[in-house]
Structure 1
Amino acid sequence: MDNCTYAVVDLETTGHSPAKGDRIIQIAIVFIENETIIKKYARFVNPEREIPVFIQQLTAITDEEVKNAPRFEEIATSISEMLQGAVFVAHNTDFDLSFLQSEFKRCGVPQFIGKKVDTVELSKILFPTSHSYRLQDLSDELGIALPAAHRADDDAEATAHLLLAALKKLRTLPEETLNLLHRRSFSLRSDLSGLIYDALKEVRKKSIGVNRLPLFRGIPYRQPNWEETAEGRAVSYPIETEEKIALLKKAFLAYEHREAQLSFMDTVFQSLTKSKEVVAEVPTGVGKTIGYLLPAALHALQTGKPVIISTFTNHLVDRIMNDELEKVRKMIGYRVNGTVLKGREQYISLGKFEELLQITDESFDETFTIMQILVWLTETKTGDVNELNVSGGGQLFIDRIRKGSNYLKDDERIVDYHLKMQEISIHSHIIITNHSMLLSDLNREKRVFRSFSGIILDEAHQFIHTAARANETVFSYTTWKYVMGQISSDTEGQLLYKILQLHERFCGNSRYIAHRLSSSFDRFSKQFDRIATVLTTHKHSSANGKSGNRIVFSLSEVEEERRTFSLLSEALSEHITNAHSISDDLAIHLNQMSEKEKAFVAEWNYWIRELTIKAGEWVEIFLDNDNENFTVYIEQDKRSLPGSLTVVKSPVDTSILLKDFMEHIREESVGVIWTSGTMKIEQDERFVVRQLGIDDEVPLLTFDAPKHFYSQSTIFIVEDMPSIQQVSQNDYIEAVADAVVQTVIATGGRLFVLFTSQDMLRKTYELIMESELLDDYALIAQGVSSGSRLKLLKSFRQFEKSVLFGTNSFWEGVDVPGETLSAVIIVRLPFSSPEDVVFKAQADRLTKLGKNSFTDLALPEAILRLRQGFGRLIRSSEDRGFFIILDRRIETKSYGKRFIDALPNVPVKKLSLQHMVNELEACYNGEELRGKLDGKEQ
């Protein structure tokens, strides 16, 4: 594709379907030759129909702007002529090119014939760690100017610069990487092979040594390294208030003095230096992260030993590493080294990756993911596969190349990222990890976390849930079927077919072994399908005529099937024995095999190990009798059976597990700080502390946010909602939908609506969608709209008029500062369902101990969740927001006051829905009026 012209095209349209009458409203083309922009073309187009309100909001193109523009028929011929002979480039050619071709056909104009380059596809390969491949997000990341997203002229120019950046990136890749990419590029959906080949030719012309990286079995990779640190550097802790403020001002231009933050810093430093344990509640508004990170860094510098910081999610881990630690460096003017440590399964196994490259039968998703990984390996400093942004199908491939064992061949040991990161952490001041990794260290023969000078557990209340999940064993029907499918098909080209071919060639007698393997798999598979049928058709006792698609019941309800569970275990054990016999036969002949043949054997052994692990899990879940410490429950969705079938074995009491963890930590004789925004509740201050297994003598301190922090927030209790316990679910959902619609219209959107039930969320969302009353708003629903929590949150932030419907994971850990979030609606008080199997087991345990399961478990948990929900609303002292509670139990039940008392001291207003809507309208109309007056004054 040397010396060609690229025509970079972007369209704005009234919708996605030209067949249904959607039309172009703006077209822009940017022409590139010799990597230089030579010409631009941009026109508005009259669609001869009204532009939908949503499209006007998205593009800022109005009916007035296109009124006098030419119809597409008038410019179609000239556009077609401009594109002929060029390479068509767009950010999603599936849309732009197909829409344009439809319009050319409608107008009787010759359609485009030629090569196409999709910059989405190209960007996914060359920028494999980007969080998003939207043009706006890529432009921000690469420093490309994009004055107005969703305007064709600006989008086309940004896409042109994105193409140029991608071409430049291609030429920086090693020759070996380009070779491996080019070999796979012919199966891509757009014509990228020419681009890659041009870069390959250019790199080959360069002098030897350019773009060189070390090779692992022919694959270029970047080695992780670290900067040596000065051991025991004398950096004093700022004792006086003025000293602390001076340091903080170095990192925060708009520093706001908060006395509680400085007190918290002192507490952390004293606990670390005196090797004491402390629990600290530090709510939003205090500056918790910097409050512990600065004293931790200073302590590490003084002692020459790292401080461990553990938090709940990998997302928070990365934020501390990439954002907060840099602020600490600015404050103390010294290179504080930080290392992120995660579990081994988070890191790539280069040995496994290289083996899979030997197997040529790749699906499109696998090929694409391999190309992303090849580029990523030239730049990653950690080997953490979570850095990659891959498709759902690609994720299955990623799971196959995760490090699954500590056994390494000699050449793998040199390049193992997991080992390298552990070595680097020894030389760090701050080791940042997640709760799961920290807990799993208990079960390692050789512990990763050793010789440290202190430990800080952020989001400490989540340690309880992490401990529970870490000790769960999960059966997933879909996962089992996937593993079974990898080794069961003897169709030509499949793994079993090739393994039997190898067995025949090197060992002979493969017909007998194939028959034996087929028979044992057939017995195992039939038993598996029978059990799946039993579990998915069981008439469980907890249904009680309730509607909803999610079904959860205890495994004890199918106790009569225990013999059937044993029969499956026996059949699976026999099949694994037969599969291992093939592995044993082939192992003798490995030295006679080619590398590709060895790769097939390694792949076979990998899946047999996976099936062996599954066999152990089966025994633990279905045949173990530890009913006192664990509960086992079955979960499924009626809409997708048997695929949704899941069985979970979960611990009832995690405090025992966490006490074991603390004994391990105390062996180090270091300071321990437990901290979170929600560590206590009124009337039972040590509820969370007890669940964490923390001794009673450990102090629990509170560092309150400044009094003015919540001054712009109000709590509304809607007192004319129907009683949730006296009406049907459908009636309550209708009332919720009405309240949401009226609130959204009054505020202009920017709302979270928080549910405790996915079923109620979906029904409320569907009812609102059917009403069409909020058609001008972007409605985003967890479990309904596609994408992860972070993706849904990004969509919510993107649109000014948006509403997000969320369940459990949106009650906490979501940061939406400023005007992006104006209100939070609480649909129901966040009690655990009394039918929840784990909750029932925990409640039964408390009852046996002579305690009240409601006051000692259900109520405290619900109060904590409500506090966490309130924490979504106000993230800075400039934020203003409304916390709206629709559940009247907060007013009518005796325990309601405990919920209110647990929230910050802000105005609480009990009023009807109409009066609340009137107040909101007055507030937002007043704001709009003030904005107009301010505009006139300027």
Structure 2
Amino acid sequence: MNDPDLSVLAMAAFDRMVAATPGFRARAGQHAMAQRIASSLRDVSLGDQDHPQSAVTVIQAGTGVGKSAAYLSTTVALALARKTRVVVSTATVALQEQLMTKDLPALAAVIDTPFVYALAKGRGRYVCKLKLERLVGHVGADAAELFEGDDEANTPQASSTFQPTRGVVWQDPTERRVALYETLASALVAGKWDGDRDSLAEQPEARDWSTVAAERHTCTARHCPRFSSCSYYQARMQLAQAQVIVANHDLVLASLGMKALPDLDNCLVVFDEGHHLPAVALDQFSSAMDLTGLRWLDKLPKILIEVADKMGVVLAQDVTTLAQQLKTALLDAGRLALELVRGLSTGYDTVYRFKDGVVPEAMLEPFKLIHGHAAALSDALEALGAELKLRAKEDPAQAANCSVQYARLGQMAPKLNSVVATSAQWLSSDEPPLAKWLKSDTGSGLVSISAHACPIVPGDLLRRHLWRQVRGAVVTSASLTTCGSFDFFLGETGLAGLPQVSTLAVESPFDYRTQGQLVVADTAADPKQVDLYTTQMVAALLRDLREVPHGALVLFTSRVQMQAAVSALDASLQEVVLVQGQMARGRLLGIHQARVEAGFASVIFGLQSFGEGLDLPGTLCETVFIAKLPFSPPSDPVEEARAEWLKRAGRDPFNELVVPATGIKLLQWTGRAIRSETDQARVICYDKRLLNTAYGRRMLQGLPPYAVSRRASGTVLVV
């Protein structure tokens, strides 16, 4: 479709939306962003095309630009004109809530054509009514099977703080869980609950919820007798009616090719908070399996045989022998893994990564057996599941029983699939090599060993699985450039060199030179002298905290570092400081705001997650203290493996990966300071490498143009 009026239509929608915004001010960057989206996406080919035209526009928009108004107004107007849809993908719940409760209602109020918008959630956010009924006895479940497949159901760690009846503390885990499920079932029957976990007044413990959550592996879909009233599929029907769907990156990548969301070649897509895409891609295509918690393998053949007997099906494989062989191979692998770990460390809490992704032959042998046995069991499970689905389809009278039996099989599927996937990745000899490692820990009170594998180049994954499908997309964030360039982000996301990709950086409307300061406070110790540096940094930080008049945020690079600062607080500062993890995030921020608004000083201590997406305007955050440049921990096995691969190829991983990745984090962290056009704030960084090293100065080039000064021995020098 080639209609020059489409971009005009999109810009008209933009103009109406921003003009209706309370306190509207014309922002050149916002207008430029909207114009780029309108012109880039108006001509993309949607649907089945022989030679489709694609466009991906990558836009960095500084804080305060108003990204959501720019991309929503233009993409929605284009989509409505072309009778297609928009998928907006985010990385955080906070942005999803903003889009659903503020931005989309504002657009709907001013746009000419009415549209429906909806929030897409993963299947696991909804209850499976059939499972719930079975657990409370409505389908005649055997009590002995109540929590089958849940190895941890009766362990001490399974205790929950969720109380279905206020004031009642359940000592017995099974009794407590039964009471919870009865409460949920009653709420459903009474119409007081829609089956969405997020709409519960109190959130159940994750382990309790997982037993009744809807899952792909346990769902017979339209063959289930509860399909017509299924909470998940009712939500899917609402999505089918929506022209705008808000989702998250995990769901978008996990749903590729599964029809849970619109086909990406037949809609427009916006990836806000797009700098998260590489990490999400690695997570989606990684795998892990437990080498020690194997009780599920004792249950698996029993369930397969019982289900087959109840349905009159003859299993083609000897599943009992296969399960025993798989367990033996896993135990052998676990024993070898424990020997390797013990040879590396005196303790059991450690990670053992295999150099260049090469696993010793002695370790590979049990993994070959693991993969063969697990694949055979998986085939048996899938064949039996397919037979149950077929019978439910052909004989509706059997549908309820088939669905219950299918759910029993499905409880086993995730662990079995993890074994199949992880063992396959461990046997892989791909180039670049996968990161492969063992992890040992004693968090449960016992030694547990797990095997992990993960690709090391996210761009390859995204190019192969995502960008080949996308026809028209916007990728945006306040932090896509690093060290003054898009190159790192384009490489990490697989967009580098693609002809359909364009980039644009629009400046924040804030005047950083007059509104803010960046002070680099020297310490005598080099940051690489970890203990000495931490001691000196904490001493300087505590002196500065005594001068905080209103709100401030301190960002640490590790929990150990943060704890050192907490331990050094005297009584007066303890009254002022709020520490991430001491309470729920919302409550902590609420207390902070109340203190500041009452005229008291309040300081938040936080880690990486507080360095992004935290909006504390005005006096709520007049100073951001950065304890150290936010380099990733050197022990991350995926980053270690990637650095190793680059070195082998004669490349420099520090300058190619570490510096630009740290530059993006630093841009996010410093972005907590100036949040509005009237803010006055400063950033104090205690890491002198920001000014003293070439890589530090590279990072500095990518930051907003603060007035920069150095503080050494109490003297402030303008840089």
Would you say the 8 A contact 1:477–1:642 is kept in 2? no
2:657 is equivalent to residue 854 of structure 1: no
Structure 1 residues 568 and 819 mapped into 2: Cα distance closer, same or farther (>3 Å)?
same
1:609 maps onto 2:416 in alignment: no
Choose the corresponding residue for 1:562, options 364, 389, 401: 364
Quick one: structure 1 residues 843 and 451, their matched pair in 2 at CA, closer, same or farther if it must change by over 3 Å? Answer: closer
Quick one: distance in 2 between partners of 1:451 and 1:563? 43
CA distance in 1, matches of 2:299, 2:514: 59
Distance 1:353 1:441 in 2: 25
TM-score calculated relative to the size of structure 2: 0.77
Measure how far apart 1:888 and its partner are: 1.6
Structure-1 separation of matches of 2:364 and 2:265: 47
Contact 1:631–1:652 (Cα < 8 Å) also in 2: yes
Cα displacement string for residues 670-709 of structure 1 (whole angstroms, at most 9, x for unaligned residues): x322211112234543221122222534321111112436
CA contact (8 A) 2:304 2:381 kept: no
Alignment of 1:255-334 (within 5 A): 255-275=24-44, 276-332=55-111
Q: What is the CA–CA distance in structure 1 between the aligned matches of 2:192 and 2:618, rounded to whole Å?
A: 34
What's the secondary structure of 1:747's corresponding residue? Answer: coil
User: Is the 1:815–1:872 Cα contact (8 Å) retained in structure 2?
Assistant: yes
Q: Deviations over 1:571-596 (max 9, x none)?
A: 767988999999999999999x9999
User: Equivalent residue for 1:110?
Assistant: none
2:553 counterpart residue number? 752
Question: What is the root-mean-square deviation in Å for CA atoms of aligned residues?
Answer: 4.5
Give the corresponding residue for 2:473: 672
Shift of 1:742: 2.2
Q: Secondary structure at the match of 1:908?
A: strand
CA drift at 1:823: 2.3
What's the counterpart of residue 351 of structure 1? 130
Determine the structure 1 residue equivalent to 2:352.
553
Distance 1:422 1:501 in 2: 33
Q: 1:821: which partner in 2?
A: 621
Moved more, 598-607 or 805-814: 598-607
CA distance in 2, matches of 1:380, 1:750: 41
Q: How far, CA to CA, are the matches of 1:264 and 1:378 in structure 2?
A: 48
**CA distance 1:257–1:486, change in 2 (3 Å):** farther
- Quote the Cα distance in structure 1 between the aligned partners of 2:404 and 2:240: 38
Shift of residue 238 of structure 1? 7.2
Report the CA distance between 1:558 and its aligned residue. Answer: 6.7
Residues of 2 paired with 1:277 and 1:235: CA distance?
Answer: 16
Structure 1, residues 699-757: CA drift from partner, whole Å, max 9, x if none? Answer: 211111124366332111111352112x3x32222223223322222215733322333
In the alignment, does 2:479 pair up with 1:681? no
Read off the aligned partner of 2:280 and give its amino acid letter.
T
Give the direction of change, closer, same or farther, for the CA distance of 1:733–1:450 in structure 2 (3 Å limit).
closer
In the aligned structure 2, how far is the partner of 1:686 from the partner of 1:412?
A: 51
Deviation at 1:777, TM superposition (A): 2.7
Query: Which structure has the bigger radius of gyration?
Result: 1
C-alpha distance in structure 2 between counterparts of 1:367 and 1:907, whole Å: 60
Contact 1:778 1:803 in 2 (8 A): yes
C-alpha change, 1:649 and 1:611, in structure 2 (3 Å) is closer
Match of residue 717, structure 1, among 495, 520, 526: 520
Structure 2 unaligned regions, length at least 5:
45-54, 147-173, 313-317
Partner Cα separation in structure 2 for residue 602 and residue 896 of structure 1: 57
Q: State yes or no: 1:811 paired with 2:611.
A: yes
Given that 2:611 and 2:668 are in contact with CA atoms closer than 8 Å, whether structure 1 keeps it comes out as yes
Q: Which residue of 1 aligns with 2:209?
A: 397
C-alpha separation between the residues in 1 aligned to 2:630 and 2:130? Answer: 47
Aligned runs of 1:509-548 on 2, under 5 Å? 528=330, 531-532=333-334, 535=337, 538-539=340-341
**2-structure distance, mates of 1:895, 1:555:** 30
Q: Give the Cα separation in 2 of the matches to 1:636 and 1:757.
A: 21
Amino acid at match of 1:855: N
Structure showing greater relative contact order (alpha-carbon pairs closer than 8 Å, 6 or more residues apart): 2
C-alpha distance in structure 2 between counterparts of 1:803 and 1:644, whole Å:
38
1:849–1:419 distance in 2 versus 1, CA, 3 Å: farther
Match status 1:407 vs 2:238: no
Counterpart Cα distance in 2 of 1:724 and 1:572 = 48
Question: 1:461: how far off?
Answer: 1.7
Q: Distance in 2 between matches of 1:732 and 1:393?
A: 40
Structure 2 equivalent of residue 474 of structure 1: 288
Deviation at 1:397?
2.6
Within the alignment, does 1:254 sit opposite 2:59 as a pair? no
Letter in 1 for 2:580: A
Distance in 1 between residues matched to 2:652 and 2:594, nearest whole Å: 46
Contact 1:721–1:888 (CA under 8 A) maintained in structure 2: no
8 Å CA contact retained: 1:562, 1:623:
yes
Q: Percent sequence identity over matched residues? A: 19
Alignment partners' CA distance in 2, 1:759 and 1:279 = 37
Q: TM-score, length-normalised on structure 1?
A: 0.60
SS in 2 for 1:431: strand
Within the alignment, does 1:761 sit opposite 2:558 as a pair?
no
Q: CA deviation at 1:460?
A: 1.6
User: Partner of 1:367 in structure 2?
Assistant: 179
Tell me which moved more, 577-586 or 400-409: 577-586
Secondary structure at 2:504's aligned position in 1? strand
In the alignment, structure 1 residue 237 sits paired with structure 2 residue 9: yes
1:356–1:599 contact (8 Å) kept in structure 2:
no
Distance of 1:309 and 1:396 partners within structure 2: 31
- 2:708 alignment partner, one of 880, 901, 908: 908
Counterpart in the other structure of 1:460: 274
Q: Cα distance, 1:277 vs. partner?
A: 3.0
**Change beyond 3 A, Cα 1:342–1:847:** same
Q: Residues 348 and 403 of structure 1 are in contact (CA less than 8 Å); yes or no, is this contact kept in structure 2?
A: no
The one-letter code of the counterpart of 2:121 is K
User: Equivalent residue of 1:552, what SS?
Assistant: strand
3-state SS of paired residue (1:665): coil
Instruction: Pick the aligned partner of 1:634 from 413, 438, 444.
Output: 438
Give the Cα separation in 2 of the matches to 1:866 and 1:793: 22
Distance 2:245 2:389 in 1: 41
Structure 1 residue aligned with 2:161: none
Residue 781 of structure 1: CA displacement?
3.3
| Superposition map of 1:370-519 within 5 A | 370-372=182-184, 374-375=186-187, 384-388=196-200, 390-391=202-203, 393=205, 395-398=207-210, 400-405=212-217, 407-408=220-221, 409-444=223-258, 448-449=262-263, 452-476=266-290, 480=293, 483=296
Cα gap change, 1:679 to 1:527, in 2 (>3 Å): same
